[in-house]
């Protein structure tokens, strides 16, 4: 498409105002999506625009219908993490595909510093997108409270921190997955089951740990000794596994709360001369296609269907945009255990 031209024979803003029976200023306010417009004026001007086939330029037209055809996908995470952890790549790919299927343009924004947040807020408030999918898992993150003030529908992945009232989200059953993983280790006869956790400022990490605790019935005072935060990174998983081997030398199984950390944990076990699964059985989380089948040995893991999660988020957002009824504001998707050789 090219920049629209305004030839003399086309209907003008003046024609729209006359047809709608409002002042030109009011018509302009409607076209500019000003909040100070009465519903009646909005309806009359919109009807006049449609009746006359008035074609404002692309940006202005977007304002009429409040539709840019674009959806922001916002990640509130340190950039290194987004690109070193293949889980994010998978999320982005799924979002790109699901939004393309809905003929929406994915507009990816990365937010890390307070300056990033202020900049993203300006962009999101600027009428450049119709809605947003947000990934803001960390405690203390200001994005959810900023997003509440935006004139945009938003759907979250997982539970953001802060009040959930009024929020739309699609989560996975992380606690159930933690139970599944740990009960599998128990069923194999393992007695000393430790856990490498994600950072406990994320609900997903806390929920997976809660699942491990439920299944092991670990007493509160044992949790600190039997678990270690691996920060959802490969290096962190290796470091946490090494620390647990030091602290709990007789451990015979570990539930690692992400596949990326599990790859690191396998490195630590190898370096410590522990055989997997003979000496130590290992279960990961994600069942990431780029990781779980390729570790040595291949990783038993809890599958969360990321593509499906993103698809549900897009569906929920599209319903919000079309003002269609939503079945549930908060959806929780199931997880399943995928058995390979590590446990």
The footprint of a copy of itself (CB under 8 A) covers 1-3, 5-7, 12-14, 24-25, 28-29, 32-36, 56-60, 62-63, 68-70, 79-80, 82-84, 86, 89-90, 92-93, 96-97, 100, 103-110, 113, 115-116, 119-123, 125-128, 149, 151, 290
Q: Look-up: residue for tokens 């938003």? A: 154
Q: Which is nearer to a copy of itself, 119 or 275 (CB)?
A: 119
**Nearest-approach distance from CB 150 to a copy of itself, in angstroms:** 9
Distance CA 272, CA 266 (A): 10
Distance CA 18, CA 94 (A): 47
Q: Is 306 exposed, middle or buried (0-12, 13-18, 19+ CB in 10 A)?
A: buried
**Nearest-approach distance from CB 98 to a copy of itself, in angstroms:** 12
Q: Which is nearer to a copy of itself, 92 or 133 (CB)?
A: 92
Q: Which is nearer to a copy of itself, 68 or 195 (CB)?
A: 68
Q: Look-up: residue for tokens 């609900």? A: 203
**Nearest-approach distance from CB 62 to a copy of itself, in angstroms:** 6
Q: Which is nearer to a copy of itself, 37 or 248 (CB)?
A: 37
- CA 137 vs. chain centroid, Å, equals 8
Q: Look-up: residue for tokens 């790109």? A: 96
Distance CA 293, CA 95 (A): 23
**Nearest-approach distance from CB 31 to a copy of itself, in angstroms:** 9
Q: Which is nearer to a copy of itself, 76 or 227 (CB)?
A: 76
**Nearest-approach distance from CB 216 to a copy of itself, in angstroms:** 35
DSSP E strand boundaries for 4-91? 70-76
**Nearest-approach distance from CB 181 to a copy of itself, in angstroms:** 26
The number of residues making up the chain comes to: 343
Distance CA 28, CA 17 (A): 8
**Pairs from 19-23 (Cβ < 8 Å, separation ≥ 24):** 19/48, 19/51, 19/52, 20/44, 20/45, 20/47, 20/48
Q: Which is nearer to a copy of itself, 102 or 210 (CB)?
A: 102
Distance CA 53, CA 183 (A): 64
Copy the structure tokens of residue 83: 């690109």
CB atoms within 10 A of CB 80: 10
**Nearest-approach distance from CB 2 to a copy of itself, in angstroms:** 6
Q: Which is nearer to a copy of itself, 69 or 334 (CB)?
A: 69
């Amino acid at each position: 498409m090219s920049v629209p031209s305004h030839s003399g024979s086309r209907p003008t803003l003046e024609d729209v105002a006359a047809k709608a029976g409002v002042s030109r200023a009011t018509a302009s306010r409607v076209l500019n999506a000003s909040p100070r417009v009465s519903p009646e004026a909005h309806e009359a001007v919109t009807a006049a625009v449609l009746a006359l086939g008035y074609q404002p330029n692309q940006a202005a037209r977007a304002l009429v219908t409040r539709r840019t055809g674009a959806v922001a996908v916002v990640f509130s995470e340190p950039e290194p993490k987004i690109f070193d952890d293949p889980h994010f790549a998978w999320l982005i790919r799924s979002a790109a595909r699901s939004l393309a299927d809905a003929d929406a343009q994915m507009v990816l924004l990365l937010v890390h510093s307070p300056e990033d947040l202020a900049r993203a807020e300006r962009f999101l408030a600027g009428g450049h997108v119709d809605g947003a999918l947000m990934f803001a898992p960390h405690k203390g993150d200001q994005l959810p409270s900023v997003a509440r003030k935006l004139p945009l529908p938003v759907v979250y992945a997982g539970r953001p921190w802060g009040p959930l009232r009024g929020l739309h989200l699609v989560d996975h059953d992380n606690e159930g997955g933690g139970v599944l993983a740990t009960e599998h280790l128990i069923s194999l006869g393992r007695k000393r089951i430790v856990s490498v956790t994600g950072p406990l400022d994320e609900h997903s990490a806390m929920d997976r740990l809660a699942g491990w605790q439920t299944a092991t019935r670990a007493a509160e005072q044992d949790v600190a000794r039997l678990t270690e935060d691996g920060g959802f990174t490969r290096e962190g998983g290796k470091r946490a596994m090494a620390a647990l081997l030091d602290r709990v030398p007789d451990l015979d199984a570990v539930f690692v709360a992400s596949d990326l950390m599990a790859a690191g944990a396998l490195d630590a076990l190898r370096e410590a001369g522990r055989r997997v699964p003979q000496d130590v059985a290992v279960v990961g989380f994600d069942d990431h296609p780029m990781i779980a089948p390729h570790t040595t040995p291949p990783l038993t893991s809890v599958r969360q269907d990321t593509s499906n999660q993103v698809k549900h988020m897009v569906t929920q957002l599209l319903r919000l945009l079309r003002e269609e009824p939503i079945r549930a504001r908060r959806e929780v998707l199931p997880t399943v255990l995928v058995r390979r050789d590590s446990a």
